[in-house]
Amino acid sequence: TDVVVGPRPTRTDAHVELFGTEEFVVVAAAGHSFAGLSAVPVRALTGEPFVHYDVAHGMAGWVDQLAARHDVVLDPVLRTRSQRTAAQLAGAGMGVTIVPVSALPPRPAGTVRRLRPAVKRDVVAIMAAPSDNLVQQFVADIHRRGLPGWTGAT
């Protein structure tokens, strides 16, 4: 692999270049009480049926740590290996979930709200050979275009 784009790794010997940050959001069904909020307090997740991630998925530990930092006890009703699937299941009413905006489909189903406090993570390029001409062009193009974002509540 010449270049990988994703969240900042915990450890790597490869060259890492920051593109920016992406926000995490809460996804719930259209009629959920979160639809009436401009942002969902992390503590509001307590007691909600939660579409969680498979324990082997990196997001599972990340979400559990976020919940613990806010004294939230999650109530997993099912687990998935896919962030996009978690968003789709939550939008369909299977529970609520937390996903990065990059996991949202172009027209997400249900309610999508920011977390309060806002939760973001770095998005980086990880390159084994940063001097490679094609890798440099690819990375420059992402810098020019910027990261896709989420523009607001649905």
Q: What is the pLDDT of residue 101?
A: 92
Q: What is the pLDDT of residue 150?
A: 61
CA distances to 71, 76, 100, 102 from 62, rounded to whole Å, are: 14, 14, 12, 16
Residue 34 in 3-state DSSP? helix
- Sequence-ordered list of residues with C-beta below 8 angstroms from that of 134, at least 6 positions apart, any chain: 2
Q: What is the pLDDT of residue 88?
A: 96
* H-run or E-run covering 52: strand 49-53
Q: What is the pLDDT of residue 128?
A: 86
What would the mean pLDDT of 48-72 be, rounded to a whole number?
A: 96
Q: Would the pLDDT of 154 be above 70?
A: no
Residue 116 in 3-state DSSP? strand
What would the mean pLDDT of 23-28 be, rounded to a whole number?
A: 97
Q: Label residues 92-129 b or e (16+ Cβ within 10 Å = b).
A: eebbbbbbbbbbbeeebbbbbbbbeeebeeebbbbbee
User: What global pTM score does this model have?
Assistant: 0.86
Mean pLDDT of the chain: 92
